[in-house]
Amino acid sequence: MCCFIFLTTAASAQFTTVSGTIYDITARRPLEAVAVLSTSGRGTISDSAGRYSLTVKKNDSIWFSLIGKTTMKYAVDTISNLSGFDIMLHIKATQLPEVTVRNRYYRFDSIQNRNDYAKVFNFRKPSLQIINNPTYNTTPGVTAGLDINEIINMFRFKRNRQILALQRRLLQQEQDAYIDHRFKKLFVIKLTGLSGASLDSFMVAYRPDYEFLLTLNDLEFGYYIERCFDLYKQHKPSPFKGLYKKEEEIE
């Protein structure tokens, strides 16, 4: 325990936390999802209010990047106000870059999204871990020790909460995209003949849950839509809506 406390204290002395708010060039509009990077490889993103917080080594430098706009590098040991290091990026929040429209393909979009947010999707709560040949080891014969970075990250509660919240949001977006990919109006029209407001209300009332949809192949999904259409004509709700959520509640 004494060794653990000593290593934690020694490691904490080498790190410091920089936090603040990121604004656009007007200094009035906060910017969300700005990448905050460091020379040691650590990084984070700003939240919906433009706030960020990043724990780095005291001899690190940090910089900020958004849609091709990157700031200079700031040496951490020269920052006077570490808890209020606000930054303005030379971009107006109301002037978004030009968007190129292309044909969408769910599988390619999903893979690209996973690549773009790989660190977020792969994030897990920090825990005590043993590593081989730790860099801080000075004792001859000792070839394993606790991962100092994991220990420090265990106490970065706000940062962990933010990343987990973003992870949940990205997973939900991915699941919604999968449902949209399979539960298409054109497919429903071919099986039911619905149109206009009737089609819109059917799409809302009988939209399948993600977990349930994963269990169906295309043939089974077609039968599901036909069954739902019979229920729709009888003004009855889908018996499959929220099925997996109810099972989770029972468990």
Q: What tokens were used for 38?
A: 């460091």
Same domain, 37 and 78: yes
Domain with 42 in it: what CATH number?
Answer: 2.60.40.1120
Pair 45, 112 in one domain: no
Residue 228 CB burial class (10 angstroms; 0-12, 13-18, ≥19) = buried
| 24 occurs within a structural domain | yes
The count of structural domains within the chain is 3
Whole-number Å distance between alpha carbons of 184 and 73:
47
Mark whether 80 and 24 lie in a shared domain: yes
- What counts of helices (H) and strands (E) characterise the chain? 10, 10
Residue 98 lies in a domain: no
The answer to whether 98 touches 67, Cβ cutoff 8 Å, is no
- What is the per-residue pLDDT across 154-209, written as a single tens digit (0 to 9) for each? 667 787 788 788 888 888 888 888 899 889 999 899 889 999 999 999 999 999 99
pLDDT tens-place string over residues 35-93:
899 998 888 889 888 999 999 999 999 999 887 678 899 999 999 999 999 998 877 65
Task: For residue 212, tell me if it sits in a domain.
Answer: yes
Cα 7 to Cα 138: distance, rounded to the nearest angstrom:
12
Confidence of residue 152 (pLDDT cuts 50, 70, 90): low
Q: Which domain-ending residue is among 44, 59, 91?
A: 91
For residue 25, give both structure tokens.
Answer: 């060039």
Whether residues 4 and 29 fall in one domain: yes
Q: Coil, strand or helix: which one is 244?
A: helix
Half-sphere exposure (CA, 13 Å, Cβ side) for 188?
Answer: 26
Joined tokens for residue 203: 């799409």
Q: Is 137 helix (H, G, I), strand (E, B) or coil?
A: coil
The answer to whether residue 96 is domain-embedded is no
pLDDT of residue 8: 47
Whether residue 153 is contained in a domain is answered as yes
Of 63, 91, 119, which one is at a domain's C-terminal end? 91
Q: Are residues 135 and 170 in the same domain?
A: yes
Helix (H/G/I), strand (E/B), else coil: 194: coil
Residue 42 structural domain: 1-91
Q: Which own/partner pairs from 179-184 qualify as long-range (CB within 8 Å, at least 24 positions apart)?
A: 179/207, 179/208, 179/210, 179/213, 181/106, 182/213, 182/221, 183/207, 183/208, 183/213
- The last residue of one of the domains, among 149, 178, 207, is 178
- Residue-wise pLDDT tens digits, 108-150: 666 666 776 777 777 776 665 666 555 555 555 545 555 566 6
Residue 97 within a domain: no
